[in-house]
Amino acid sequence: MNLIEQLGGYEQAKEIVFDPLHPQMTHVSNCGRHWVNEEFSHIPEINEQMKGMLKISDIRHALLAYRRANNIFELNDWVLTNNQDFSEEPCQLVEDCSFDFKYKTKSGHWGFIVKSFLPTKWRHATDEEIEAGKRLDSLIVTPTNRQMAI
């Protein structure tokens, strides 16, 4: 069972990670009901609790992996167009505008992406592409074949 399934599914994992009542917490229990911050790990009781808890950062990484695997796009995701003639630069989805996402790039460009185009015309950028600020490979992405190297 993967981490997302262990927490009760994607939506439940999102609720745990983005819980507005616990924004500074770094660890959560497997049931998602008990929170601690590692800043207090010098307290023996908290240090002992943390050993059996999940790191919020691990859940965030699992959520991103889930979105990438299931073609789900959300705010703050980095995407690349499948059309290499359009742009080689990753775009960060920064604002939800109902039917569109507003995006920005590291170089300061911005624009809008129609949400319905995301699953077929765009893909998630890899961590390496985000770091490099450009497409690192040539990919053909279709709805039936997610990634096939040219």
pTM for the complete prediction?
A: 0.79
The phi and psi torsions of 39 (rounded to 5 degrees) equal -60, -20
Q: What is the pLDDT of residues 119-134, one digit of tens each?
A: 889 999 999 999 999 9
What is the 3-state secondary structure of 39-96? HHCCCHHHHHHHCCCEEHHHHHHHHHHHHHHHCCCCCCCEEEECCCCCCCCCEEEEEE
Domain ranges of the chain: 3-70, 78-149
Residue that is written with structure tokens 């990484």 in the block: 61
Q: Which residues pair with 96 in a beta bridge?
A: 101
| Residue 74: band (very low, low, confident or very high) from pLDDT cuts 50, 70, 90 | very high
Q: Identify the pLDDT of residue 138.
A: 57
Q: What is the pLDDT of residues 6-59, one digit of tens each?
A: 889 999 999 989 888 888 889 998 777 888 888 988 899 888 888 889 999 999
**Residue 93 burial class via C-beta count within 10 angstroms: exposed 0-12, middle 13-18, buried 19 and up:** buried
